[in-house]
């Protein structure tokens, strides 16, 4: 065969085969998808500050550890209400001649997924403290600290955003830690990361590989299995209120010995969990954790009972029915967003 | 008759092994079929039934083999009856040794004496035949119960050992039975030779005795004359020995005639490649340490997100790329049997690639980034310089091949040249702005990162191996056709598998499925390639231990098979579910990029550099490099695979994310330890490289003496003119 002896024919043939396949698996699909995906109704383009924050996110290689994709498998439910679809990424377009669009989907999950971080953790105070040094709020974290997004000043100027860094993390520095514009922009970007609801009438794609329901076991056992309040606390509350329930001075209030938690009338406690709280000057704003995470009455009850009986707290436990009623009450008083 | 045919069928052990292997892999192939709504761990009964059937079939097969052996043995002993005995005894007599003949002679002179035959007591062992439990009950759902499965496994374990015991017992009793038969035969033979008529005459016996006592004297061939090595076959004979901690390597064959200008170019490529390996792996080592000590420093330039990209880009686009180019510049002209088209363009390419990588690493550290696609972090103007280097090289190679003096283009050049064309196409598609908005960018990203690995590094190194492996073994490649098959099938399957990095993502579902199918198809080129290399190695295993390069090539070939197979296993939806996003991926990428590409590059360096410079690396150095790298890689990858799997399972169970981080702690520590060993091996490589390249030469007494003589001659000739 002459193809073995003619370099022109041989390499042309190889290139053509490779090129044709490339056309079908890369070029055509990418062009088609670029043309045919439009942003969802309700998706808001990034503001200038958020876009600047996205640049900080890119230049620090955050995508190396944090994904931004909710897969359509059951275990990814933790990271969003529905699996991601192509339209979710339609807003990420090429912004400059030097850079790619950057969907930032990522391929490694060394840290948590950030698709919906803006909803899961909307608190600016938390993000700032966490960025200064993640171990202030999550002692087990292995995330890198980002102190260059902050300045240490003797006295905070007007408009400076102060960050409550505990003494132990100041490394001998004296003064007040304030966020730089870069730091604020990055947090603004993180806060903007929210899953957009699909338009009415369009069903969410399904999560596959569901965990086998424990119902069968529950029927056999004859009793409802109790949810693990400690795990739910870890997933939803611990980031701010800490594992020991002591919170963080100047940022997040303690639950240990808290009047709200110990009160037998749990109306306020449920209202705070479901609607958030911003009444204490010395602490940061609490987001509507319960509503954002879509916690059920069973889950809220499990969390509350964990908080009411841990770290020396010794309050009466609540029942699911009580919580159900209080949740309805809280819903009625929820601030209009 | 039927037994005999079956017997023949099973006699070929290879077939048996293949059948067993097929049976074993059957359940794994089954994995690919569960698509949706099937959870991975709550065991699906089909696979366990498959496994059980496999086990039962193997048991039955071994029993059949045993029975057949029994039958054949009894047949053999039955046939050995009186007809053959006489001729057999005659044969015994011609093979008698001197002592035995003396005995016969003395017996003849003293015929009354009887030969005593010593009889050894026999040990009889009645074979115990245990029948393994066959076919399980029919109801399927029972076998999805873990309890039942465990019970069956527990039942099978003693049965399995009983089978082994049975086989050994039966074998022993056969041996005993045979010995018993032989003893009887010995008695008959003794009887036979005690009869004088059966024995040959004394003169004949004397002749047999002489033959049996013949010995070659040391100078038999030269018939006592003094030998003289007129052909100069023996050189530098030495009886000195060293302490052998590592196998003594054979020195490189004297340098072939290579253009010194090309030599210099190749050495510069390989030298800078090793430099980048050292830098890139030092960065990687530091990143690994930061997983354990996240507060190691607080400089933005050294933060983990940036250094991770520096590490991956440097080991990809600097170390592996420049190393591959260096080997290419040596191999392409060599197998074309023609000089390199342009040395100058080679130098420009070297400068382009090195410069681009230097600037690229600094820009990433400074926070200038392309937008976060893996291995695509360096911005396009810098990568364009890099691509120019590759473009110049491939034009250079094609022009060299055009000038070749051989008729056909050797398979190495197919792989090498094609890989450059492919990576240039890949890089072009990855960096042009078209089709790169929204999800399109990620489609291109999947294509880009996997084509870079498979169609550039792997493809080029396979070409290198098709030349260097036969060259180092000094024998031709096992099968040229298998190489051709691997070439086309790798293009066909590898090109489509990129999206398997985004299984379950928002990318088109059909594209994901195509990628998974392609990943399975990859087994064809991988098996073809591995078979080819292993069959080339076959029969030359002794050469592996006394060569500098072959141990590295061997490890690379083994990892080529296991690493690629692992890649296929990871691509299925059911496995991807557990392993994707975890550290398993990192273990896999190191098995492939280090175990395959880097080890093959190491082998290539040790094969070529001593030939070019005429200087050997230190024996101890090569051994230390090999073992540190190999052991380091095990410490690196195995803990990450275990930890990655556990992490995936924890996520599937719905454990809080931070728990999986805490769980990974010890595994990350092991990774850092393994990484340190690998890093140390690179320091050894740098030293070895220095030893192979160092400019000072040991004075060769002979050469120097003739230089002096020549000088004297010249001055003598010149003198009269003054």
Each residue's pLDDT tens digit, B337-351: 999 999 999 999 999
pTM higher than the cut 0.90: no
Mean confidence (pLDDT) of chain A: 86
Best interface-test mutation with B: which of A4, A7, A9, A228 has the largest number of B CBs within 10 A? Answer: A7
Locate the chain B residue with the closest alpha carbon to A90: B438
3 state DSSP class of A277 = strand
A189-209: pLDDT as tens digits: 999 999 998 888 788 888 888
Q: Are A63 and B372 in contact (CB under 8 A)?
A: yes
CB–CB contact B495 A61 (8 Å): no
Q: How confident is the model at residue B81 (pLDDT cuts 50, 70, 90)?
A: low
User: Running DSSP on this structure, what letter comes out for residue B44?
Assistant: -
* pLDDT > 50? residue B135: no
> How many cross-chain Cβ pairs, A to B, lie less than 8 Å apart?
276
Which span out of A303-312, B207-216, B563-572 was modeled with the highest average pLDDT? B563-572
* Domain assignment present for A143: yes
Closest of A112, A278, A333, A56 to residue B372, by C-alpha:
A56
* pLDDT > 90? residue B665: yes
Closest of A154, A181, A148 to residue A52, by C-alpha:
A181
Q: Are residues A179 and A118 in the same domain?
A: yes
* CB < 8 Å to B451, chain A: 22
Q: Are residues A182 and A298 in the same domain?
A: no
pLDDT of amino acid B24: 43
Q: Are residues A260 and A302 in the same domain?
A: yes
pLDDT of amino acid A265: 81
CB–CB contact B657 A78 (8 Å): yes
B250 contact partners, CB below 8 Å, separation of at least 6: B546, B547
Angle between helix B523-537 and B550-571 (nearest 10): 160
Locate the chain A residue with the closest alpha carbon to B296: A144
Q: Are residues A261 and A132 in the same domain?
A: no
pLDDT of amino acid B625: 96
pLDDT of amino acid A319: 83
* Domain assignment present for A15: no
Rounded to whole angstroms, how far apart are CA atoms B427 and B339?
A: 29
> How close B474 comes to chain A (CA, Å)?
24
Q: Are B426 and B447 in contact (CB under 8 A)?
A: yes
Least CB–CB distance from B379: residue in A98, A106, A211: A98
* Domain assignment present for A138: yes
Q: Are residues A158 and A290 in the same domain?
A: no
* CB < 8 Å to A216, chain B: none
User: Running DSSP on this structure, what letter comes out for residue A337?
Assistant: -
Q: What percent of chain B has pLDDT over 70?
A: 81
Q: What percent of chain B has pLDDT over 90?
A: 52
Q: How many domains does chain A have?
A: 2
Domain that includes residue A57, residue range: 48-95+103-192
Domain boundary among A125, A160, A192: A192
pLDDT of amino acid B647: 95
Residue A189 CA: distances (Å) to CA of A47, A115, A193, B441: 9, 11, 7, 20
pLDDT of amino acid B83: 60
* pLDDT > 80? residue B608: yes
Least CB–CB distance from B409: residue in A10, A101, A138: A10
Closest of B212, B185, B280, B252 to residue B547, by C-alpha:
B252
| Length of chain A in terms of residues written | 337
Query: CB of A7 within 8 Å of any CB in chain B?
Result: yes
User: Running DSSP on this structure, what letter comes out for residue A314?
Assistant: -
A192 contact partners, CB below 8 Å, separation of at least 6: A44, A46, A47, A50, A53, A118
Q: Are residues A180 and A52 in the same domain?
A: yes
CB–CB contact A98 B657 (8 Å): no
Rounded to whole angstroms, how far apart are CA atoms B379 and B381?
A: 6
Q: Are B393 and B352 in contact (CB under 8 A)?
A: no
Distance of CA A203 to the CA centre of its chain: 23
Q: Where in chain B is the domain with CATH 1.20.210.10?
A: 260-704
Angle between helix A124-132 and A181-192 (nearest 10): 120
* Domain assignment present for A269: yes
Q: Are residues A228 and A328 in the same domain?
A: yes
B143-167: pLDDT as tens digits: 665 666 666 676 777 788 888 888 8
* Domain assignment present for A1: no
Residue A162 backbone dihedrals phi, psi, to 5 degrees: -80, 145
Domain boundary among A192, A224, A255: A192
Among A14-18, A22-26, B190-194, B403-407, name the one with the lowest average pLDDT: B190-194
CB–CB contact B447 A67 (8 Å): no
Q: In B, residues 396-455, which contact A (CB 8 Å cutoff)?
A: 398, 401-402, 407-409, 414, 417-418, 421-422, 425-426, 429, 433-445, 447, 451, 455
pLDDT of amino acid B150: 65
Query: CB of B511 within 8 Å of any CB in chain A?
Result: yes
Q: Are B31 and B572 in contact (CB under 8 A)?
A: yes
Query: CB of A122 within 8 Å of any CB in chain B?
Result: no
* pLDDT > 70? residue B132: no
* pLDDT > 90? residue B206: no
* pLDDT > 60? residue A220: no
* pLDDT > 50? residue B381: yes
Q: Are residues A166 and A261 in the same domain?
A: no
Query: CB of B39 within 8 Å of any CB in chain A?
Result: yes
* Domain assignment present for A40: no
**Mean pLDDT for the stretch of residues B82-91:** 72
Q: Are residues A120 and A248 in the same domain?
A: no
Query: CB of A3 within 8 Å of any CB in chain B?
Result: no
* Domain assignment present for A253: yes
pLDDT of amino acid B1: 47
pLDDT of amino acid B553: 96
B91-118: pLDDT as tens digits: 777 777 777 777 777 766 665 444 333 3
Q: Which strand (E) or helix (H) includes residue B191?
A: helix B146-194
B513-562: pLDDT as tens digits: 999 999 999 999 999 999 999 999 998 988 888 888 999 999 999 999 99
Least CB–CB distance from B435: residue in A31, A138, A234: A31
The secondary structure of B668-687 as a DSSP string is HHHHHHHHHHHHHHHHHHHH
* Domain assignment present for A304: yes
pLDDT of amino acid B252: 66
Burial, A158: exposed, middle or buried (Cβ in 10 Å; 0-12, 13-18, 19+)? exposed
Least CB–CB distance from B309: residue in A64, A98, A102: A64
> How close A306 comes to chain B (CA, Å)?
16
Locate the chain B residue with the closest alpha carbon to A91: B438
Q: B57 or B636: which carries more pLDDT confidence?
A: B636
DSSP E strand stretches across B570-654? none
pLDDT of amino acid B149: 65
* pLDDT > 60? residue B711: yes
Q: Are A134 and A66 in contact (CB under 8 A)?
A: no
How big is the CA angle at B289 (ends B285 and B570), to the nearest 5 degrees? 75
* pLDDT > 90? residue A320: no
User: Running DSSP on this structure, what letter comes out for residue A82?
Assistant: S
* pLDDT > 50? residue B121: no
Pull the structure tokens for residue A8: 């022109």
Least CB–CB distance from A101: residue in B42, B371, B506: B371
Rounded to whole angstroms, how far apart are CA atoms B416 and A114?
A: 42
* CB < 8 Å to A21, chain B: 491-492, 495-496
A251-296: pLDDT as tens digits: 888 888 888 888 878 888 888 888 888 777 778 778 888 887 778 8
B136-149: pLDDT as tens digits: 334 445 566 566 66
Q: How confident is the model at residue B418 (pLDDT cuts 50, 70, 90)?
A: very high
Q: Are residues A252 and A183 in the same domain?
A: no
Closest of A301, A94, A141 to residue B438, by C-alpha:
A94
Q: Are residues A115 and A250 in the same domain?
A: no
Fold of B260-704: Cytochrome C Oxidase; Chain A (1.20.210)
Q: How confident is the model at residue B78 (pLDDT cuts 50, 70, 90)?
A: low
B224-239: pLDDT as tens digits: 777 778 888 887 676 6
* CATH, residue A297: 1.10.760.10
Give the torsion sign (CA, A186, A191, A193, A196): negative
Query: CB of A196 within 8 Å of any CB in chain B?
Result: no
Q: Which residues pair with A162 in a beta bridge?
A: A178
B462-512: pLDDT as tens digits: 999 999 999 999 999 999 999 999 999 999 999 999 899 999 998 889 999
Mean confidence (pLDDT) of chain B: 83
Q: Are residues A57 and A179 in the same domain?
A: yes
CB–CB contact A211 B298 (8 Å): no
Rounded to whole angstroms, how far apart are CA atoms B678 and B630?
A: 8
């Amino acid at each position: 065969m002459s193809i073995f002896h003619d370099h022109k024919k041989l390499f042309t043939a190889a290139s053509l085969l490779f090129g044709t396949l490339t056309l079908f698996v890369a070029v055509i699909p990418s062009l088609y998808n670029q043309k045919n995906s439009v942003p969802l109704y309700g998706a808001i383009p990034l503001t200038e500050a958020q876009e600047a924050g996205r640049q900080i996110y890119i230049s620090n290689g955050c995508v190396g550890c944090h994904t931004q994709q909710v897969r359509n498998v059951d275990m990814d439910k933790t990271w969003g209400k529905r699996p991601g679809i192509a339209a979710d990424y339609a807003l990420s377009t090429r912004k400059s001649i030097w850079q790619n669009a950057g969907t930032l989907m990522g391929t490694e999950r060394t840290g948590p997924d950030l698709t919906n971080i803006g909803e899961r953790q909307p608190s600016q105070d938390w993000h700032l403290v966490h960025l200064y040094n993640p171990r202030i709020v999550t002692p087990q974290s292995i995330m890198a600290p980002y102190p260059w997004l902050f300045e240490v000043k003797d006295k905070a100027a007007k408009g400076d955003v102060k960050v409550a860094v505990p003494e132990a993390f100041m490394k001998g520095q004296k003064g007040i830690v304030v966020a730089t514009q870069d730091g604020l922009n990055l947090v603004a970007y993180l806060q903007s990361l929210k899953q957009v609801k699909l338009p009415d009438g369009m069903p969410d794609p399904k999560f596959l590989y569901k965990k086998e329901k424990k119902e069968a076991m529950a029927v056999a056992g004859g009793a409802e299995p109790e949810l693990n309040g400690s795990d739910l606390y870890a997933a939803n509350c611990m980031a701010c209120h800490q594992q020991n329930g002591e919170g963080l001075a100047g940022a997040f209030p303690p639950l240990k010995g808290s009047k709200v938690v110990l009160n037998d009338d749990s109306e306020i406690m449920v209202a705070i969990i479901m609607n958030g709280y911003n009444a204490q000057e010395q602490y940061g704003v609490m987001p509507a954790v319960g509503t954002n995470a879509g916690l059920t009455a069973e889950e809220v009850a499990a969390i509350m009972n964990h908080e009411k009986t841990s770290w020396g707290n010794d309050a009466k436990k609540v029942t699911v029915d009580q919580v159900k009623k209080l949740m309805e009450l809280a819903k009625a008083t929820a601030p209009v967003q | 008759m039927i037994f005999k045919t079956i017997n023949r069928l099973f006699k070929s052990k290879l077939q048996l092994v293949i059948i067993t292997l097929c049976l074993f892999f059957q359940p794994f192939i089954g994995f690919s079929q569960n698509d949706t709504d099937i959870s991975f761990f709550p065991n699906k009964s089909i696979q366990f039934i498959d496994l059980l059937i496999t086990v039962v079939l193997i048991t039955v097969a071994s029993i059949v083999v045993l029975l057949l052996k029994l039958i054949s043995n009894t047949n053999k002993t039955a046939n050995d009856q009186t007809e053959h005995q006489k001729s057999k005894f005659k044969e015994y007599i011609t093979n008698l040794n001197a002592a035995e003949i003396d005995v016969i002679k003395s017996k003849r002179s003293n015929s009354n004496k009887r030969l005593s035959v010593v009889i050894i007591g026999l040990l009889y062992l009645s074979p115990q035949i245990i029948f393994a439990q066959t076919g399980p009950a029919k109801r399927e759902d029972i076998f999805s119960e873990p309890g039942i499965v465990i019970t069956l496994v527990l039942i099978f374990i003693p049965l399995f050992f009983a089978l082994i015991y049975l086989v050994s017992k039966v074998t022993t009793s056969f041996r005993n039975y045979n010995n018993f038969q032989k003893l009887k035969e010995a008695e008959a033979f003794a009887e036979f030779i005690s009869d004088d008529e059966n024995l040959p005459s004394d003169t004949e016996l004397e002749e047999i005795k002489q033959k049996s006592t013949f010995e070659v004297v040391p100078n038999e061939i030269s018939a006592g004359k003094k030998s003289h090595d007129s052909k100069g076959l023996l050189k530098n004979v030495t009886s000195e020995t060293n302490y052998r901690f590592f196998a003594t390597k054979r020195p490189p064959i004297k340098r072939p005639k290579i253009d010194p200008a090309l030599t210099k170019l190749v050495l510069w490529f390989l030298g800078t490649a090793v430099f980048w390996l050292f830098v890139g792996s030092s960065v990687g080592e530091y990143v690994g340490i930061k997983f354990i000590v996240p507060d190691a420093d607080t400089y933005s330039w050294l933060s983990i997100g940036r250094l991770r990209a520096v590490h991956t880009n440097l080991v990809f686009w600097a170390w592996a790329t420049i190393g591959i180019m260096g080997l290419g510049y040596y191999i392409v002209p060599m197998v074309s049997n023609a000089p390199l088209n342009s040395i100058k363009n080679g130098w420009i390419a070297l400068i382009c690639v090195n410069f681009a990588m230097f600037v690229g690493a600094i820009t990433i550290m400074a926070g200038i980034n392309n937008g976060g696609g893996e291995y695509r972090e360096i911005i396009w103007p810098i990568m364009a310089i890099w691509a120019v280097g590759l473009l110049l090289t491939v034009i250079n190679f094609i022009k060299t091949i055009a000038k070749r003096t051989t008729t056909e283009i050797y398979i190495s050049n197919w792989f090498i040249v094609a890989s450059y064309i492919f990576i240039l196409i890949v890089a072009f598609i990855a960096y042009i702005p078209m089709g790169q908005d929204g999800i399109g960018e990620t489609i291109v990203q999947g294509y880009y990162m996997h084509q870079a690995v498979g169609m550039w590094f792997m493809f080029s190194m396979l070409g290198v191996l098709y030349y260097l492996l036969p060259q180092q073994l000094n024998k031709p490649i096992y099968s040229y056709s298998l190489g051709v098959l691997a070439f086309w099938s790798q293009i066909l399957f590898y090109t489509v598998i990129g999206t398997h990095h985004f299984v379950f993502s928002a990318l088109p579902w059909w594209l994901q499925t195509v990628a998974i199918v392609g990943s399975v198809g990859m087994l064809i080129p991988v098996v073809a390639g591995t078979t080819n290399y292993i069959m080339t190695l076959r029969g030359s295993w002794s050469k592996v231990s006394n060569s500098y390069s072959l141990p590295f090539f061997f490890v690379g070939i083994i990892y080529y098979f296991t690493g690629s197979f692992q890649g296929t296993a990871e691509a299925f939806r059911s496995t991807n579910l557990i392993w994707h996003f975890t550290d398993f991926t990192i273990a896999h990428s190191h098995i492939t990029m280090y175990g395959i590409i880097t080890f093959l590059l190491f082998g290539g360096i040790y094969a070529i550099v001593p030939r070019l410079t005429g200087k050997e690396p230190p024996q101890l150095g090569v051994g230390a490099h090999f073992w540190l790298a190999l052991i380091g890689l095990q410490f690196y990858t195995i803990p990450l695979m275990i930890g990655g799997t556990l992490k995936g399972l924890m996520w599937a169970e719905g454990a809080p994310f931070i728990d999986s981080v805490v769980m990974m702690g010890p595994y990350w520590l092991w990774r850092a330890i393994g990484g340190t060993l690998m890093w140390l091996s690179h320091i050894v490589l740098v030293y070895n490289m220095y030893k192979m390249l160092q400019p000072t030469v040991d004075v060769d007494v002979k050469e120097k003496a003739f230089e002096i003589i020549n000088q004297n001659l010249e001055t003598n000739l010149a003198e009269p003119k003054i």
